[in-house]
Amino acid sequence: MRRPAALVFDLDGTLIDSRRDITTAINLMREGYGLPPLSLEQVVRMVGEGARVLIERAVGGELPAELLDEALARYLAHYDAVCLDATRPYPGIAEMLAALASSFPTALLSNKGEALSRKVLAGLGLDGYFQEVLGGDSLPTRKPDPAGLRLLAGRLGVPAEDLMLVGDTRIDAETARAAGCSFALVEWGFPRPPRLDGVLDEIAADLRVAEAGELTRSLLRSVA
């Protein structure tokens, strides 16, 4: 594997397990419209392409289209209030970031809004590991559009093709491919059914890792 010049990490499902807080916020929003709650498993299947798509999936067909903007605003307000209640880094993430940030420029690219991404990173003590942070509302487009990766490459001072994106989904893989950079697939992320994300084995990746320490070891070997 060719050594990357800089690393860009996805957030939800890659660094943090945020499923419970997202589900809580979705159900608080639904409760406000008199809708029954969704299960954790149902909500997880809807996550990954930004808050607006999440809301469209969470209330699609149950609310008229003209209420979707309001539902999104309500969800975001609820999520802002609960986003650190149950969200935690996956095992070994802080240690992994500490080791890698000492050898690589690092950035974060999430489809979660930038302010919320920064709030969660700070609340979990992970914000100091990233030189740059972009969210799903930082640009007119979001993953899998490669604009975020290209902007981060410029800010980090490296060619986009020399980045490595670390993520847990097909969307992350497509983003890396569109930017012409390498992709590391983490296999501990949110479980999703094949119809949404494909089988993990079918997601093209330059590196696959089952736990955080494995990513650290693989990338630090590339430095040596």
CB atoms within 10 A of CB 129: 22
10 in active site:
yes
Distance CA 102, CA 174 (A): 28
Please give the helix or strand (H or E) that residue 17 lies within, else none: strand 16-17
Strands in 82-129 per DSSP E: 88-89, 106-109
Structure tokens at 179: 């930017």
Please tell me which residue in 10, 12, 17, 21 is annotated as part of the active site: 10
Residue 15: CB atoms within 10 Å: 28
Query: For 162, what's the count of Cα atoms within 13 Å in the CB-facing half-sphere?
Result: 12
Measuring CA to CA, which residue among 137, 116, 100, 125 is closest to residue 8?
A: 100
Rounded to an integer, what distance in angstroms lies between the CA atom of residue 69 and that of residue 77?
A: 12
Question: Token digits for 158?
Answer: 């490296």
Residues forming the active site: 10
